[in-house]
């Protein structure tokens, strides 16, 4: 698909799962998109399950531009009338919808249905029917931008894999670290979605930190390994510990690995400078400055830092992202821009909200 179609009539965009955190964030970003304000992109059907029949004013009061709209029940026939469909559904639901949409519809899936290339990984971590894989939505990875531009199907990464991959892949691609990587990622509660859950209640999370799905059990574990293998890390051994923190948004990832023989901090920094020199959303911080989630809230930015612990012979690779923006919906719009031929940064904030 190409944005030139919009010269005749606006591209029509639908969001399925519109009232979830991912769907609502997609809508927030689209409302800031220059193509929307120029009349070249229109927001069509807003669909959801249990929220069908509810007004946007009630379901998402932070989107006053759409307050007059009503959430619709999912309808494949209506979706076929749209040029772009964002799927913000629970895992395992996207494939059934996607297979019924025309090949020339740009379908962007924010769930896990098409992320994994290995059917055995899907069976182990998700279960159910394996739907295959689509081009993967981290444009900053080698070759990803070209694959996204050439496809009408895009799988948006998980939020943990986004922060972790952007922190680690340049070191893996250049062979700067050994294969055993220890990763700790601290996340805000919105990563658990909008569904009711006792473990995400304020009284359960405020003033507390908790590791969960530890020792390789988290569903994003194989996705991170897959990404690092794709850039040359064939023998990757990942120890991943996610930690829940009392924050609405944000993920801080810290990865530690032993340096390869003969590698120093200057070599590591040079590799990251080269990898991200032309990337508008990934910012390698100056030495001594650490990424922090408050600096990227509301933006599609990712802050990265690299630092060598000479006494331990290890490197610390750190990143901070907004899990709902760069970690989900921002990446989805970024991939839409690439696929449609828009400016890649269109509608997406680079500056965060602080304090």
CATH number of the domain that residue 289 is part of: 3.30.360.10
Q: Domain check: are 79 and 194 in the same one?
A: no
| Whether 104 and 253 share a structural domain | no
The verdict on residue 60 lying in a domain is yes
Q: What is the mean pLDDT of residues 74-78?
A: 94
Residue pLDDT, tens place only, 227-285: 999 998 788 999 999 999 988 899 999 999 999 999 999 999 999 999 999 999 999 99
Residue 56 near residue 68 (C-beta atoms within 8 A):
yes
Residue 27, SS3 per DSSP: helix
Q: What is the number of domains present in the chain?
A: 2
- Both 164 and 271 in one domain: the answer is yes
Task: Residue 80: give the domain boundaries.
Answer: 11-111
Which pairing describes strands 11-16 and 153-155: parallel, antiparallel, or unpaired?
Answer: unpaired
Residues 27 and 171 in one domain: no
Does residue 117 sit within a domain? no
In a domain, 128, yes or no: no
Do 11 and 348 form a contact (C-beta atoms < 8 A)?
no
Taking the model in full, what pTM does it have? 0.93
Do 292 and 172 belong to one domain? yes
H or E stretch including 159?
helix 159-173
- CA distances 309 to 130, 263, 316, 317, Å, are 42, 12, 7, 11
238, β-bridge pairs: 181
The model's pLDDT over 175-225, given as tens digits with 9 standing for 90+, comes to: 999 999 999 999 988 776 666 666 667 777 777 888 988 998 899 999 999
191 and 73 share one domain = no
Counting every residue, how long is the chain?
355
Domain final residue pick, 50, 79, 111: 111
Read off the pLDDT of residues 125-175 as tens digits, 9 standing for 90 and up: 998 889 999 999 999 999 999 999 999 999 999 999 999 999 999 999 999
φ/ψ of residue 104, rounded to 5 = -90, 5
Contacts for 188 with CB less than 8 Å, ≥ 6 apart: 245, 246, 247, 248, 249, 250, 251, 293, 323
Q: Verify whether residue 159 is a known catalytic residue.
A: yes
* Model confidence at 1: pLDDT above 80: no
**88 shares its domain with 176:** no
Q: Which position among 159, 302, 325, 335 bears the catalytic label? A: 159
CATH code, domain with 85: 3.40.50.720
- In a shared domain, residues 71 and 208: no
Q: What share of the chain is helix, strand, coil (3-state, %, to 5)?
A: 30, 20, 45
| Bridge partner list, 230 | none
pLDDT at 354: 83
In this prediction, residue 6 carries a pLDDT of 41
pLDDT at 4: 45
Q: Using CA atoms, how far apart are residues 205 and 164, in angstroms rounded to an integer?
A: 23
Q: Tell me: the pLDDT tens digits for 12-57? A: 999 999 999 999 999 999 999 999 999 999 999 999 988 889 999 9
Q: Are residues 83 and 232 in the same domain?
A: no
8-state DSSP, 130: -
Asked if residue 189 and residue 252 are part of one domain, the reply reads yes
Do 173 and 53 belong together in one domain?
no
Give the per-residue pLDDT at 3.
52
b/e map 280-318, b = 16+ CB within 10 Å = ebbbbbeeeeebbbebbbbbbbbbbbbebeeeeebbbbb
Dihedral sign computed on CA atoms, order 126, 85, 110, 131: positive
């Amino acid at each position: 698909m190409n944005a030139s179609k919009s010269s005749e009539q606006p591209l029509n965009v639908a969001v399925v799962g519109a009232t979830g955190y991912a769907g609502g964030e997609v809508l927030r970003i689209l409302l800031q998109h220059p193509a929307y304000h120029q009349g070249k992109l229109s927001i069509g059907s807003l669909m959801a399950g249990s929220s069908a029949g509810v007004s946007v004013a009630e379901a998402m009061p932070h989107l006053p531009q759409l307050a007059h709209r009503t959430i619709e029940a999912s309808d494949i026939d209506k979706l076929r009338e749209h040029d772009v469909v964002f799927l913000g559904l629970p895992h395992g639901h996207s494939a059934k919808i996607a297979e019924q949409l025309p090949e020339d519809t740009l379908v962007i899936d924010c769930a896990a249905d098409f992320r994994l290339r290995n059917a055995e990984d899907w069976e182990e971590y998700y279960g159910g029917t394996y739907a295959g894989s689509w081009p993967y939505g981290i444009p900053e990875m080698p070759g990803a931008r070209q694959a996204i531009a050439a496809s009408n199907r895009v799988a948006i990464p998980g939020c943990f894999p986004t922060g972790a991959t952007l922190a680690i892949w340049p070191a893996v691609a250049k062979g700067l670290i050994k294969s055993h990587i220890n990763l700790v990622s601290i996340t805000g509660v919105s990563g658990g979605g909008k569904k009711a859950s006792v473990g995400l209640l304020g009284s359960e999370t405020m003033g507390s930190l908790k590791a969960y799905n530890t020792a390789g059990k988290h569903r994003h574990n194989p996705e991170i390994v897959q990404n690092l293998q794709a850039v040359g890390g064939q023998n990757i051994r990942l120890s991943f510990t996610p930690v829940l923190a009392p924050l609405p948004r944000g993920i801080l990832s810290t990865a530690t690995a032993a340096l390869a023989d003969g590698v120093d901090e200057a070599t590591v920094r040079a590799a990251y400078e080269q990898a991200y020199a032309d990337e508008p959303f990934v910012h390698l911080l100056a030495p001594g400055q650490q990424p922090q989630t408050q600096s990227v809230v509301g933006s599609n930015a990712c802050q990265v830092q690299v630092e060598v612990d000479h006494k331990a012979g290890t490197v610390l690779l750190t990143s901070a992202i907004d899990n709902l923006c760069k970690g989900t919906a921002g990446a989805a719009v970024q991939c839409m821009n690439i696929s449609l031929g828009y400016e890649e940064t269109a509608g997406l904030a680079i500056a965060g909200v602080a304090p």
